[in-house]
């Protein structure tokens, strides 16, 4: 009986020590990161709104799942003054009713994640920066990138048409066809619309299937290469046939492209047979 009481007393003292230790323990950088990321993501969704059709883009869902899955694996290192400063700046940005401030909040959360040691912290920072970039894609970087990308795509389409015996000429984002009509490549049909979510989706899926290592850049590059070939083939088909052009702009015609886009991400992100 005495031995039992002694053990109970030891357990009670140990538990009291742990509770006291946890109560006085410094706040970890991982805890700050989680709070900042939740606030920034909520503000981001309020600032940008849902994607067309009333639903959130699947890339955002996949990136959020990958980030949340990595949070428990972050080291519980004490938060430093710079972490607290970034956390305060993220919360301050969330109080501003502007779309740009949501991007700033996500950027601050990404900086906290990058400061964490290990692969998980760096991967989480990349995902948060990717979401911040997604919020700016229509207003900043996509606007600058659209001119050269559309020019390259129109010349690729014209080149493939010429190889197929259809004499075509590219000027800007317009492909002049021999019958006098022209095929115009807009940003909505360009690689710009699909490349960014494809890269983020591939990175996120890599994080989920191989959480112990940073996904290699070659997998994201492979996904973008496959996507470029897929989208170029679609543009060539639409330039060749008005019927195909009409079909691919219907809800039924968009479905094959969405399935192929998802397939590209899965093929690029899944581990090799040797790694499995």
Q: In tens digits, what is the pLDDT along the chain, a chain of 276 residues?
A: 555 445 545 444 443 433 333 333 467 888 888 888 888 888 877 766 655 445 677 788 888 888 888 888 877 778 888 989 999 998 898 888 777 788 888 888 999 888 876 788 888 888 888 888 777 766 666 667 778 888 889 999 998 888 888 888 888 888 988 887 888 888 778 888 888 888 999 999 988 887 777 777 888 999 999 999 999 998 998 888 888 888 887 777 788 888 888 889 888 888 765 544
Alpha-carbon gap, residue 157 to 232, rounded angstroms: 7
pLDDT computed for residue 224 by the predictor = 92
- For the chain, the structural domain boundaries read 28-135, 137-276
pLDDT computed for residue 115 by the predictor = 82
Nearest residue to 225 via CA among 191, 180, 259: 191
Residue 248 · residue 207 · CB < 8 Å: no
pLDDT computed for residue 22 by the predictor = 39
Longest dimension (CA), the chain: 101
pLDDT computed for residue 26 by the predictor = 65
Nearest residue to 128 via CA among 64, 80, 202, 85: 64
């Amino acid at each position: 009986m005495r031995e039992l009481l002694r053990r109970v007393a030891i357990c009670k003292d140990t538990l009291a020590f742990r509770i006291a230790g946890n109560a006085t323990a410094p706040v970890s950088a991982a805890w700050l990161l989680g709070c900042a990321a939740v606030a920034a993501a909520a503000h981001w969704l309020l600032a940008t709104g849902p994607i067309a059709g009333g639903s959130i883009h699947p890339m955002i869902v996949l990136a959020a799942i990958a980030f949340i899955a990595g949070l428990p694996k972050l080291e519980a290192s004490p938060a430093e003054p710079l972490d607290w400063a970034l956390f305060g700046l993220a919360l301050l940005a969330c109080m501003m009713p502007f779309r740009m401030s949501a991007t700033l909040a996500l950027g601050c959360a990404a900086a906290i994640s990058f400061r964490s040691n290990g692969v998980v912290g760096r991967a989480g920072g990349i995902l948060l920066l990717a979401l911040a970039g997604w919020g700016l894609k229509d207003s900043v970087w996509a606007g600058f990138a659209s001119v050269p990308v559309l020019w390259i795509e129109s010349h690729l389409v014209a080149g493939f048409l010429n190889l197929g015996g259809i004499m075509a000429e590219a000027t800007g984002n317009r492909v002049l066809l021999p019958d006098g009509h022209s095929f115009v490549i807009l940003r909505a049909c360009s690689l710009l619309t699909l490349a960014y979510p494809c890269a983020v989706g591939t990175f996120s899926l890599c994080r989920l299937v191989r959480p112990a290592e940073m996904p290699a850049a070659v997998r994201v590059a492979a996904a973008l290469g496959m996507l470029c070939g897929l989208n170029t083939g679609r543009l060539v088909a639409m330039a060749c046939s008005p019927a195909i052009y009409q079909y691919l702009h219907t809800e039924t015609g968009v479905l094959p492209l969405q399935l192929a886009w998802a397939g590209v991400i899965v093929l690029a992100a899944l581990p090799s047979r040797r790694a499995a």
